[in-house]
Amino acid sequence: MSRSEGTRGAAKKAVALQYGPNDTAPVIVASGMGYLAEKIVETAADNGVPIYEDNSLSTILTQLQLGQEIPPSLYQAIVEIYVYFLHFDAAGRAAETEEGAGGPRGEETT
């Protein structure tokens, strides 16, 4: 999910991506501006979907059609987001493991 906050006169934008095992690239599954963007972000948050904010990328992605695959020119940007989320998820799992073993909450391990 990519989201950008509105700045003076600019509407908020949000785009939701999905990447399934049979997809050749991530696909746009939701896209909107203003109120619709707020609902997309709210739905993502309610369902535990990670949210990544990038105004430039949101602007580009909102120009794509629903169901459209991400074009090759955006692969690197999307890969960086997925890597960020994988790192974030791995850090969360490590913290849960430490908590289960009596380790301190919220501390990073090296």
Whether the pLDDT of residue 45 is over 80: the answer is: yes
The reply to whether 48 falls in a domain is yes
Q: What is the CATH number of the domain that holds 66?
A: 3.40.1690.10
Query: Taking the complete model, does pTM exceed 0.75, yes or no?
Result: no
Q: pLDDT digits over 56-86, tens only?
A: 999 999 999 999 999 999 999 999 998 988 8
The torsion angle over the Cα atoms of residues 18, 74, 11 and 45, rounded to 10 degrees, is 30
Mean residue pLDDT of the chain comes to 81
Q: pLDDT digits over 83-108, tens only?
A: 988 887 766 665 554 554 443 333 33
Sheet holding 2-4, edge to edge: 27-33, 13-18, 2-4, 52-53
The reply to whether 16 falls in a domain is yes
The reply to whether 43 falls in a domain is yes
The reply to whether 58 falls in a domain is yes
Domain limits for position 67: 2-71
Give the residue carrying structure tokens 């949000």: 14
The reply to whether 45 falls in a domain is yes
Four-residue CA torsion sign, 88, 91, 96, 102: negative
Among candidate residues 106, 82, 83, the one with its CA nearest the CA of residue 96: 106
The reply to whether 67 falls in a domain is yes
